[in-house]
């Protein structure tokens, strides 16, 4: 980092601090602290202030402090920075640091594909610029300032993923980030339970323009009618993307388990991942590349080299040799339908199987949305393994179509693992998809590690 304790105090309007020592790290997890760190004791199930001593032992030399000062550590080597609200001070410091480094900022939101798009965008822009991106899923009101404060001082383009589950959250994140360019990947059904309708989800996602520069760029899907009336009053440049439609239009040439080749403006491009839906994500990265002045060759090279964050459409091998497509970080009906369709189109050596877990936070129409997944399964799958209470609706739909299935309740994860382990053969290919809260990652891990 490129901050001193004195500078941090000045940025937060804290008086009576005289400490020129440099801060090399900002952390809210005391276990991650190394030398010369600023500790951020955030509120939570256990108040961060209770970990002050552990932070000091690991190398913290300064910390924000919102409790009474007589409770603060009294050590000569530790500078206490008193603030009224640790979370707000943390966010304020992130704004200061962003303004100091002055990178161009790219912001990405959407109901699905945010992380994949972030990874693709970083791979493209890194061909010409020094980039830094959101790590993992640090995409909320704490994760975004954390990302900013971990940005190297020589960063030229900062790529921020922005997540939400309530209205107003993206507006807040966009105000913190002040993007030069932004994108909405897709308007799906995630968080219907909180937002009530896809129309409200579209409005919430469009909050990304709150901090977008007036001369900035916004990329939106060409096939999303809900966004059309919402973007008409905007002053920013609006570009659309899609498969054979939009300002950035792609045609899929070839799709296999390991890569997808498509054409944009008579140029063939390849991404090392499955799925036409990922071509749409790649088009966003393509659009950002164009906006920031990269050549077509640079964009193509970046897309060909992209490495996706773990658990996003990740091919693995079970202990017996079966192929596993793990896509278990999140799920909504749009995303699940897309990956089921893509998996169904693959030329596979043996049986085509799917393990599907509940999609959470879908509101009162959840059961109907789960049942609708039968349209994407039909006769393409040899057997489907269902896990969770909401999947009862899909069970009934599959039964009515005589599609083979096995059903497991929420408390039967061990039975699900045992069943899959017993029935998978070395030539099978198994897709696993469900909301992160259903814990399918444990199923994936068990299949990979069995008998090891």
DSSP letter assigned to residue 236? S
114 in a known ligand binding site: yes
310 in a known ligand binding site: no
Taking a C-beta distance cutoff of 8 angstroms, is the pair 356, 433 a contact? yes
116 in a known ligand binding site: yes
User: What are the residue ranges of helices labelled H in 14-131?
Assistant: 52-58, 86-101, 114-125
How far from each other are the two terminal CA atoms of the chain, in whole angstroms? 42
Taking a C-beta distance cutoff of 8 angstroms, is the pair 200, 206 a contact? no
302 in a known ligand binding site: no
| Alpha carbon distances (Å) from 311 to 121, 134, 258, 396, 440 | 18, 16, 15, 29, 10
261 in a known ligand binding site: no
DSSP 352-410: EEEEEEPPPS-GGGHHHHHHTTHHHHTTT-SEEEEESSTHHHHHHHHHHTT--EEEE-T
DSSP 32-53: G--SSEEE----SSS-GGGGHH
197 in a known ligand binding site: no
DSSP letter assigned to residue 311? T
Q: What is the largest CA-CA distance in the chain?
A: 75
For helices 276-291 and 114-125, the axis angle rounded to 10 degrees is 40
Taking a C-beta distance cutoff of 8 angstroms, is the pair 209, 232 a contact? no
CA torsion sign, 124 to 129 to 135 to 138?
negative
Q: Is 15 helix (H, G, I), strand (E, B) or coil?
A: coil
Whole-angstrom distance, CA of residue 426 vs CA of residue 245: 40
**Beta carbons within 10 angstroms of residue 319's beta carbon:** 14
DSSP letter assigned to residue 293? T
Whole-angstrom distance, CA of residue 448 vs CA of residue 436: 18
113 in a known ligand binding site: yes
Taking a C-beta distance cutoff of 8 angstroms, is the pair 438, 357 a contact? yes
Binding-site sequence positions for ATP: 110-116
Binding-site sequence positions: 110-116
């Amino acid at each position: 980092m490129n901050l001193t304790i004195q500078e941090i105090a000045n940025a937060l309007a804290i008086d009576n601090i005289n400490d020129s020592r440099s801060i090399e790290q900002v952390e809210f997890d005391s276990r991650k602290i190394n030398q010369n760190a600023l500790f951020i004791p955030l509120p939570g199930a256990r108040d961060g202030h209770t970990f002050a001593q552990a932070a000091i032992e690991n190398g913290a030399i300064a910390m924000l402090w919102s409790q009474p000062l007589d409770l603060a550590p009294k050590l000569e080597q530790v500078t206490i920075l008193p603030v009224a609200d640790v979370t707000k001070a943390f966010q304020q410091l992130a704004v200061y640091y962003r303004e100091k480094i002055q990178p161009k900022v790219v912001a990405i939101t959407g109901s699905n594909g945010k992380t994949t798009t972030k990874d693709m965008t970083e791979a493209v822009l890194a061909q010409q610029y020094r980039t830094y991106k959101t790590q993992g899923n640090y995409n909320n009101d704490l994760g975004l300032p954390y990302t900013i404060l971990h940005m190297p001082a020589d960063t030229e383009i900062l790529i921020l993923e922005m997540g939400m589950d309530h209205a107003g959250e993206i507006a807040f994140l966009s105000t913190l980030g002040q993007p030069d360019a932004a994108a909405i990947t897709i308007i799906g059904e995630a968080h219907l339970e909180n937002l009530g309708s896809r129309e409200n989800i579209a409005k919430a996602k469009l909050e990304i323009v709150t901090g977008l520069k007036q001369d900035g760029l916004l990329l939106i899907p060409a096939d999303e009618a809900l966004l059309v009336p919402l973007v008409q009053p905007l002053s920013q440049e609006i570009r659309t993307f899609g498969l054979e439609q939009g300002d950035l239009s792609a045609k899929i040439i070839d799709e296999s388990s390991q890569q997808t080749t498509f054409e944009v403006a008579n140029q063939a491009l390849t991404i090392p991942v499955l799925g036409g839906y990922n071509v749409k994500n790649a088009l966003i990265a393509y659009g950002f590349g164009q906006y920031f002045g990269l050549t077509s060759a640079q964009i193509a090279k970046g897309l060909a080299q992209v490495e996706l964050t773990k658990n996003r459409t990740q091919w693995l091998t079970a202990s017996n040799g079966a192929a596993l497509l793990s896509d278990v970080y999140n799920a909504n009906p749009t995303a699940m339908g897309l990956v089921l369709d893509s998996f169904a189109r693959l030329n596979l050596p043996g049986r085509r199987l799917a393990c599907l877990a509940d999609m959470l936070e879908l509101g009162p129409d959840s059961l109907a949305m789960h049942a609708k997944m039968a349209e994407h399964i039909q006769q393409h799958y040899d057997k489907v393994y269902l896990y969770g209470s909401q999947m009862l609706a899909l069970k009934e739909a599959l039964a009515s179509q005589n599609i083979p299935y096995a059903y497991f309740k929420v408390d039967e994860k061990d039975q699900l693992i045992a069943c899959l382990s017993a029935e998978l053969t070395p030539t099978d290919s198994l897709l696993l998809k469900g909301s992160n809260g259903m814990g399918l990652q444990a199923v994936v891990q068990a299949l990979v590690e069995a008998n090891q």
